[in-house]
Amino acid sequence: LNNLKAWVRQRERAFLDSRTNNALEPPKGVMLLGIQGSGKSLAAKAIAGLWGVPLLRLDIATLYNKFIGESERNLRESLEQADLMAPCVLWIDEIEKGISVSQTDNSTSQRMLGTLLTWMAERKSSVFLVATSNDVTSLPPELIRKGRLDEIFFVDLPTSALRQEIIAIHLAKRGFDPVSFDTELLAEQSDGFSGAELEQAVVAALYSVSAAGEALSTEHILREIDSTYPLSVTMGEKINALRQWSSGRTVLAD
């Protein structure tokens, strides 16, 4: 995700030096939109790692309470804790599942949204918000406008060169030398695979050779790839619709 990493590095000084440099306001945050398994959650963790600050994960669904007003209070207290931890990265994964404009819950969701929007617009602390979403069309427009978030990045499926790198990473992670495998062939045969699906192909191949008492080879991984129907095939219509929506509306993360 080279474009995203360059964007983050460009704002690192402004984020970390905001308390001593009044000329630069700290960046507010980003929305990472993309296909499931493409690395959005990992990117949120990587941003905190690049800046060397704590990563906080906010699960909005756990804040909901049956008593009126308690859900909003839980959210306010969580955001106050994030402010106290500044500088930090606040990660909200799959935000569309926790924030909606539903009319079926006595307007609790709308009040939760209002609390979050006010904090996003008015906070002065160095809390960088990273929200991930698989379906941005279900989010209210006021959540993703400029001023509350700095940018919307689209994380697409990896290209052939990136798939080759991803396969090499997961082989090395499990103690194998990627040079001993034809990663170029594996990348070519895994067109349409996400990073998570590539990892699972390696994992499934390891289960197969372990049961058969064989040594892992390119052919074993290739066999798992050939027997897998990736999400880009099983949910091709939804993924194409997401790509069409993001075209001209978002910045490519890579």
**For position 122, what pLDDT does the model report?**
87
Yes or no: say if 19 and 126 are a contact pair by the CB < 8 Å rule. yes
- Based on DSSP, count helices (H) and strands (E) in the chain, helices before strands: 11, 6
**For position 63, what pLDDT does the model report?**
87
Q: How open is the CA angle 165-170-197, to the nearest 5 degrees? A: 85
- DSSP code string of 157-192: ---HHHHHHHHHHHHHHTT--GGGS-HHHHHHHTTT
**For position 121, what pLDDT does the model report?**
87
Please state, in angstroms and rounded to a whole number, the distance separating the CA atoms of residues 10 and 224: 40
Look at residue 72 and give its three-state secondary structure. Answer: helix
**For position 61, what pLDDT does the model report?**
82
**For position 67, what pLDDT does the model report?**
80
Radius of gyration of the chain (CA): 21
Yes or no: say if 26 and 126 are a contact pair by the CB < 8 Å rule. yes
Name residues whose C-beta falls within 8 Å of residue 218's C-beta, 6 or more positions apart in sequence: 181, 182, 185, 186
Q: For 215, phi and psi rounded to 5 degrees? A: -90, 140
**For residue 237, how many C-alpha atoms fall within 13 Å in the half-sphere facing its CB?**
0
**For position 78, what pLDDT does the model report?**
94
Cα dihedral angle (207, 212, 213, 214), rounded to 10 degrees? Answer: -80
**For position 18, what pLDDT does the model report?**
67
First to last CA, the chain: 4
**For position 68, what pLDDT does the model report?**
74
**What is the pLDDT tens value at each position of the chain, 254 positions in all?**
999 999 999 999 888 886 666 667 889 999 999 988 999 999 999 999 999 999 999 998 888 887 877 888 999 999 999 999 999 999 999 888 877 665 555 577 788 888 999 999 888 889 999 999 988 877 888 888 888 899 999 999 999 999 999 999 999 999 999 999 999 999 999 999 999 999 999 999 999 999 999 999 999 999 999 999 999 999 999 999 999 989 888 999 98
Yes or no: say if 176 and 205 are a contact pair by the CB < 8 Å rule. no
Cα dihedral angle (188, 192, 196, 202), rounded to 10 degrees? Answer: -30
Task: Tell whether pTM > 0.85.
Answer: yes
**For position 22, what pLDDT does the model report?**
63
**For position 103, what pLDDT does the model report?**
53
**For position 107, what pLDDT does the model report?**
74
**For position 16, what pLDDT does the model report?**
84
